[in-house]
Structure 1
Amino acid sequence: MDSITQLHATTPEKLTEAILDGVRKEINDLKKEFQPKEPDEFLTRKDTAELLKISLVCLHDWCNKGIIKPYKLGNRTYFSRKELVDNVFNSNL
């Protein structure tokens, strides 16, 4: 059973453009939702202190107080840039 749909007050070009606009909008929404996540960057103690504009002593004190979380790898200590941005820069220290 074939059916015919008639549209009034529009041209084929306007209909095509309206459909393409809708498809573009949906594709842009999907792009925003499915962007690849950036890998977390880990900073050394020195880089972290420079980023936060604090001394290494203060950085050590903040670790002991639980303000920031250190990650140990062997004898080295690293800090997650993402956690620093999310926790330290967005808090009222």
Structure 2
Amino acid sequence: MGATVQFVATSPQDLKNEITADVKVVLDDFLKHFKPVQPAEYLTRQQVSEMFNVDLSTVHNWCKSGKLNPLGIGSRVYFLRSDIEKSLIPLKK
């Protein structure tokens, strides 16, 4: 059995405006709390060396000194772009 709803003294435009306003409030609240997840970007040693315009041996030395955190799978070595960006420090003048 379906329920019948009657809107007394409400024009179709007023009803549309009320619905639109409520939907906007819900969407605004959703967007405040929504944080899209960015996929992790992995870089090879070659890409890191090209990014900083340095030799592969420099990238190797940065790994040995702990400046970069290498990740590996098999014989492949990768670096998270976010880790590389975090390892950069501001220079004081």
**What's the TM-score bracket when you normalise by the shorter of the two chains?**
0.5 to 0.7
TM-score (norm 2): 0.62
Q: 1:30 to 1:72 in 2, by over 3 A?
A: same
- Per the TM alignment, residue 28 of structure 1 is displaced from its structure 2 partner at its CA by 3.6
- SS at 2:38 equivalent: coil
Deviates more, 1:17-26 or 1:46-55: 17-26
Q: 1:66 to 1:29 in 2, by over 3 A?
A: farther
| Number of residue-to-residue matches in the alignment | 83
- Per the TM alignment, residue 26 of structure 1 is displaced from its structure 2 partner at its CA by 3.9
Q: 1:53 to 1:15 in 2, by over 3 A?
A: farther
Quote the residue 1:9 is aligned against: none
- Aligned partners of 1:41, 1:60: CA distance in 2, in Å? 20
Quote the residue 2:75 is aligned against: 75
TM-score (norm 1): 0.62
Between the two proteins, what is the percent identity of the paired residues? Answer: 29
- Per the TM alignment, residue 59 of structure 1 is displaced from its structure 2 partner at its CA by 0.9
